[in-house]
Amino acid sequence: MYYNDPSVKKEAKKHKKLLESFIIDPGSFRINNCDYFLVNYQRGEKITACAVVSPNSNAGKMEYLEAFNALLEFSVLTRLFVDHAGKRVNAYMYPHTLMQKFLIDVLREGCTHLTSEERNAFEYCLERINLMLELQGRIKEMYDEFEQKAKRYLDGVEENFIKQDIEEAANNLGEFGFIQYRQAVAIYEYIPKFRYIKEMNNPEVKKYITETIDGYLGEFSINEEEHRKNVERISFQPNMGDLTKEEHIEIEKSIIYKNLAEINASTRKELRL
């Protein structure tokens, strides 16, 4: 059943109070061939309560609460993904692509003029810049897929989501946490190496340093302590860098589900059935 169906709106209006408006989340959760929808009520900009409605269910409270759990999880997970990944998907990465070209040009064309130490610094920075851009590409890939799926719910092409969709939403959020951590570590790690490159006195390397490159070398060489604290802030346990991608995502998800349980308990107090 489409979330914009008049019968869904009719059910939603039954729980509406004076001066409230309501928004029905696109996408329903189906139990025993009945479609359940999450409705948020608001007065002005403030959300006052929520309800679970179904035009075709005569089930008791327990089934409505089962639907509530699934609907709330999916709603919170997708909103969190929009809030976090949405802010990063269009991040300005031109400085990184420009620095990538600079590093590659020096390594390919000026390699005979580099000492072993200098070459190691360039290769170290290039490895981390490549990682930054690769991870940024993954954010865009994930967000594009998310937007396409969200549009299908909005347009009614897909009407129901299932438990697998909830798990996918949690995995996406967990993977974004992994990406955020890896990018933060890469920045912290490349700062001293970029500072070394900026302070190099190699005439052959200086041929490749334009005014723009010199400016970005300066930007990429500062705030080491600030970035160390940022890595520390998003580290949930010692030796986070030793975890595999899958292990990191599972830790992120354990925190996500703990927060979801707290949100569920507080939201239930305002639930209208």
State whether 48 and 98 are in the same domain: no
Q: Report whether pLDDT(102) > 90.
A: yes
- Identify the pLDDT of residue 93: 96
Using the predicted structure, report yes or no on whether residue 52 has a pLDDT greater than 90: yes
How many domains is the chain partitioned into structurally?
Answer: 2
Residue 11 has phi, psi (to 5 degrees) of -70, -40
HSE, side-chain direction, 13 A CA sphere, residue 70: 21
Distance of CA 130 to the CA centre of its chain: 20
Q: Taking residues 163-181, what's their average pLDDT?
A: 97
Q: Are residues 239 and 137 in the same domain?
A: yes
Count H helices and E strands in the chain, helices first: 9, 6
pLDDT of residue 238: 87
pLDDT confidence of residue 237:
87
In a domain, residue 203? The reply is yes
In a domain, 133, yes or no: yes
pLDDT exceeds cutoff 90 at 112: no
Residue 71 lies in a domain: no
Q: Are residues 27 and 106 in the same domain?
A: no
Is the pLDDT confidence value at 139 over 90? yes
Question: Structure pTM?
Answer: 0.92
3-state secondary structure of 270: coil
Decide if 35 is inside a domain.
Answer: yes
Convert 111-141 to b/e letters by CB count within 10 Å (16 or more is b).
eeebeeebeebbebbbebbebbbebbeebee
pLDDT of 170 strictly over 90: yes
Whether residue 215 sits in one domain with residue 149: yes
Question: How far, in Å, CA of 18 to CA of 126, rounded?
Answer: 60
pLDDT (tens digit, 9 = 90+) per residue, 222-247? 999 999 999 999 998 888 989 999 99
Q: In this predicted structure, what is the pLDDT of residue 45?
A: 87
Instruction: Provide the token pair at 226.
Output: 């600030």
Residues 120 and 157 in one domain: yes
Residues 62 and 109 in one domain: no
- Report whether pLDDT(17) > 90: yes
Domain presence at residue 210:
yes
Query: Is residue 235 included in any domain, yes or no?
Result: yes
Could you tell me if residue 54 is inside a domain? yes
Is 90 exceeded by the pLDDT of residue 1? no
Contact 16, 36 (CB under 8 A): no
Statement to judge: residues 49 and 107 lie in one domain = no
Q: How far is CA 100 from each of CA 132, 133, 136, 216, 217, rounded to the nearest angstrom?
A: 10, 9, 14, 11, 12
Can you give the pLDDT at residue 2? 85
Identify the pLDDT of residue 166. 96
Average pLDDT value for residue range 84-109: 95
Q: Shortest CA distance to 69 belongs to which of 273, 272, 264?
A: 264
Give the mean model confidence (pLDDT) for residues 205-209: 92
Q: Judge if 54 and 108 occupy the same domain.
A: no
Report the chain's mean pLDDT, rounded to a whole number. Answer: 95
What distance in Å separates the CA atoms of residue 269 and residue 74, rounded to the nearest whole number? Answer: 19
Q: Could you tell me if 198 and 218 are in contact, meaning their C-beta atoms sit under 8 angstroms apart?
A: yes
163 and 41 in a common domain: no
Segment 195-223 shows an average pLDDT of: 95
Domain extent at residue 11 = 6-66
